[in-house]
Chains A and B, each alone.
Chain A
């Protein structure tokens, strides 16, 4: 189902030059957002790789609580984004604003 929908979206996107330019703009936008985040996520890995020379004792208690609060913050932000988007969609397409078209009868 997801694959079918994705192929439909893709077909729609490459149909007209206007759509193609929109798609390329979106890809650029995605890479702009994801690129720095990907590079940012590599920094801690490099840090831990270079820090292996001297033995620093990791305080598990502090590390675990830090991680807990970070993940809670991420969960809250994702929740706000998703809920906000749903509220926006519901508000935008509420019955009052969408004009109903009459469906022609079969007979």
Chain B
């Protein structure tokens, strides 16, 4: 074995540096990549239509820009970007559309925003993802994405 004060005999100096460099480089690349993706997906496009989402024990209300309200279901158009302004009337809930990987807390007195492009037609689940009381498990709605 070599000591830190003497000559290193039989050491794999180059290999060790390569190993350190490869690990640092990979982790650095992953960090930069994740930061860029996060920045891209956080930016809400200007063309997005705003839907106001109100959560209360134990149902969801959705309001379209023309004032039309829907309770327990939401109809969206395929290929369109939507901005969701989410709030709550009573306790903390969480607006979750699993298929579109959308998750945002609904907090009383605060408007939180999230967005997505509804790119696939069909019926999808909207659910509450924050325990909000006795019927939390039934606090669901249906998302209809229409062509």
Report A's interface with B, CB cutoff 8 A. Answer: 8-9, 12, 16, 22, 25-26, 29-30, 33-34, 37-38, 40-41, 44-45, 48, 55, 57-61, 63-67, 70-71, 74, 77-78, 81-82, 85, 93, 98
Contact = CB atoms under 8 A, between A and B. Distances in A.
A78 to B, nearest CB: 6
A24 B23 CA distance: 20
Contacts of A29: 14, 17-18, 21
A90 to B, nearest CB: 14
B125 interface: no
Interface stretch (B30-38, B49-57, B130-138): B30-38
B119 A48 contact: no
B109 to A, nearest CB: 27
A82 B20 CA distance: 9
Contact of A34 (B24, B37, B43): B24
B-side interface size class: 35 or more
Contacts of A63: 37, 40-41
Given A33-B18, A55-B45, A70 B33 contact: yes
Contacts, number: 99
Given A22-B13, A82-B23, A55 B46 contact: yes
Given A37-B28, A58-B41, A61-B100, 14 more contacts: A12-B4, A29-B21, A44-B33, A44-B36, A45-B36, A57-B117, A60-B41, A60-B116, A64-B101, A71-B34, A78-B23, A81-B19, A93-B1, A98-B1
A30 to B, nearest CB: 5
B28 A67 contact: no
B41 A64 contact: yes
